[in-house]
Structure 1
């Protein structure tokens, strides 16, 4: 009993018995206090005149002030063997080191010979000294706030047999405790925004503020004083006229209402149920909210959430007449091929922006690219990874020319130039080894330099020598041989064969003769 801590009412009871004349032996026999302690109490009470029945009984505060200041006498035999190491043990205990490890370290490093029980008693005392952090119960007015969180959902089976991990999105109205919940397959920004819109439509209105944690789909830089909100989520808040209230980092109790709501869904709805697919899971979840969760006697409010929600619903902010378009903003870099990537799909932008940072605004149907707040590209939304949407005007001029001047374009232009040119281009495309598209494009572009007549004449001469190639025609034009008839070389003397120079001075017949 020497180490026992006595309460105020016990001191008062003992003083009453002493004023009545009971001896220390009689009081100790009742096992109210040890005789050594009683002697100290009697001495202190007599010095203050408290044992005189004619005097008034001291007030509780006065008794507590006197006896709490009396140092407790601890027999030397009761001093812990671990007492010399208290500060070291306190440091280890604060660092989270377990008791057996502390005992082993004392034996190894300090030659400690005491028992583990002594260390355990000291640790128990140190734990009692810890100040318990007090919390505050937050109160909310109707329609003032909602809290949002994700929790682990049931594992669904894909039609291929692959198990799918899911999450449960939960939004709880803080006053009524009515909630919206949805099973989802991911925690992306798109899912986050869409779940908010469906939750507001479920409630038929919007609360004044939404308390969230620091999920990446909502907060891109968490900070106690200056959190940075994801641009897409900020746009949603503006469209629905609610304010975002992020919790301080690593402080989930600040949204304890939805934390409890997530646990309730996980423990009451998920177990012992079977789900065919995602749609079936959400159908069952909605029925459970309306038929069970919404009509239960809530443990905090002691009312049914749906009953309180009937009062709260008219006070919610009215939803916009036209639902806002949900848009995800994403910063991307333009690759050297003039495309940006979003969800593994490629979208073209003007080639001059290669290497620049752009912002994409992505809706369910459209992808828009912005550079310094200027819209530079618009594309339809692609869903399949690897798909690409390219606008031809976004490509460099040489690439545009290559893409636009296809074989049909070359044949059409050659036909306009003349029949010989058309025959040359057709012969080039009939080559069984080479594509010859660039050569055909080069021949057609020669019209800009020499005109249609000369080009067609050069093609006619090239055909006469069975050489329908770009280099052949270019050489004929450079040496001015297009003005000579292809058959004139047959009547020319062998000595005159090379007068005009070049391999095209003679025809095939003259080559065979000589």
Structure 2
């Protein structure tokens, strides 16, 4: 790293990231430069006012003078630059750097190393940081639902081995969750899990955010998905709105995505299950004792989610008793 040659565009990208608020540690983790070099660049950039977003970025000639680069070196460009537009297109499509490097060799006889491609992609990402938004919810406003792959269970009584799925419903504000292992994703299973989740919560949220499982959505689309008839009747009976997300946008239900991962990484490992009912008994006990105390990163992280419920989360009145549909 100490003998590595730095191009002007790399210095520029380091300064751009500093102007956006990145720390030296964060820049070092991106492998653009090391922490010591980032610190040296920051001191020079600060003294010249380059870190002030109100000021213009310095020209390459000015950068070369400050960082003791020769005028010839300041004109050096990345070997990837001639293929820049195509590389940017591939990067935008989510194609990995190794694949891009191999494609450049195959199509153009590219002679540069993979590291040159990696640095070029890092510069692109640094110049176009991805924005993210924290979704905010009111108490009782929404629950998020998802399925995740569960363990293969061998029933000790029958000898049958079968795959399972873990159903998780998470209250978006408090992150209090209900989880259950099931053998399939059929409509009756989906509806039954909803009923048992509402019974466990003691109420029904105003809306339920889902992906596009076939047991709930018969035709997925961005604007007007077709809801499975039995699920629509279930929503009407319990009094909640169905919020079906657009295809391939799991980040919009990040609460339950994290909830499924938490169950799979913290409950399932190193456990033995004698049957499906035994697995669900263990899961229920774990959720009730340990699962609700998991660390949280949102504003309700001051205590266990169950305390938030006890402080008066306002749910709609549970309509289980009045729902006359047969849900197993």
The verdict on a shared fold, with TM-score over 0.5 as the criterion, is yes
Aligned to 1:325: 324
Q: Secondary structure at the match of 2:308?
A: helix
Shift in CA distance, 187/326, structure 1 to aligned 2, threshold 3 Å: farther
Residue by residue over 1:395-443, the C-alpha shift from the partner in whole angstroms, topping out at 9 and shown as x without a partner, is: xxxxxxxxxxxxxxxxxxxxxxxxxxxxxxxxxxxxxxxxxxxxxxxxx
In structure 2, distance between residues paired with 1:112 and 1:143: 57
Q: 1:170 aligns with which of 150, 168, 171?
A: 168
Q: 2:59 aligns with which of 54, 70, 80?
A: 70
Residue by residue over 1:180-233, the C-alpha shift from the partner in whole angstroms, topping out at 9 and shown as x without a partner, is: 111111110000001111111111111111111111111111111111111100
2:311 matched to 1:311?
yes
Structure 2 residues without counterparts, runs of 5 or longer? 1-5, 19-38, 65-70
**Once structures 1 and 2 are overlaid, which stretch shifts more, 148-157 or 96-105?**
96-105
Q: How many residue pairs were aligned?
A: 282
Contact 2:212 2:247 (C-alpha < 8 Å) held by counterparts: yes
Aligned to 1:266: 264
Shift in CA distance, 61/312, structure 1 to aligned 2, threshold 3 Å: same
> Structure 1 length as normaliser, TM-score?
0.49
Contact 2:199 2:320 (C-alpha < 8 Å) held by counterparts: no
In structure 1, distance between residues paired with 2:160 and 2:294: 36
Q: 2:180 aligns with which of 179, 182, 186?
A: 182
2:85 matched to 1:87?
yes
Computing the radius of gyration over CA atoms, which structure comes out larger, 1 or 2?
Answer: 1
Which residues of 2 match residues 412-491 of structure 1 at below 5 A? none
Shift in CA distance, 197/82, structure 1 to aligned 2, threshold 3 Å: closer
2:144 matched to 1:147?
yes
How far apart are 1:323 and its partner, in Å? Answer: 4.2
2:122 matched to 1:133?
no
Contact 2:146 2:260 (C-alpha < 8 Å) held by counterparts: yes
Structure 1 residues without counterparts, runs of 5 or longer? 11-30, 39-44, 46-56, 328-362, 365-514
Q: Secondary structure at the match of 2:140?
A: coil
How far apart are 1:145 and its partner, in Å? Answer: 1.0
How far apart are 1:69 and its partner, in Å? Answer: 5.7
Q: 1:257 aligns with which of 255, 265, 282?
A: 255
- Ranked by relative contact order (alpha carbons within 8 Å, sequence separation 6 or more), the top structure is 2
Contact 1:176 1:309 (C-alpha < 8 Å) held by counterparts: yes
Q: Secondary structure at the match of 2:286?
A: helix
- Let me know the Cα RMSD of the aligned residues: 3.4
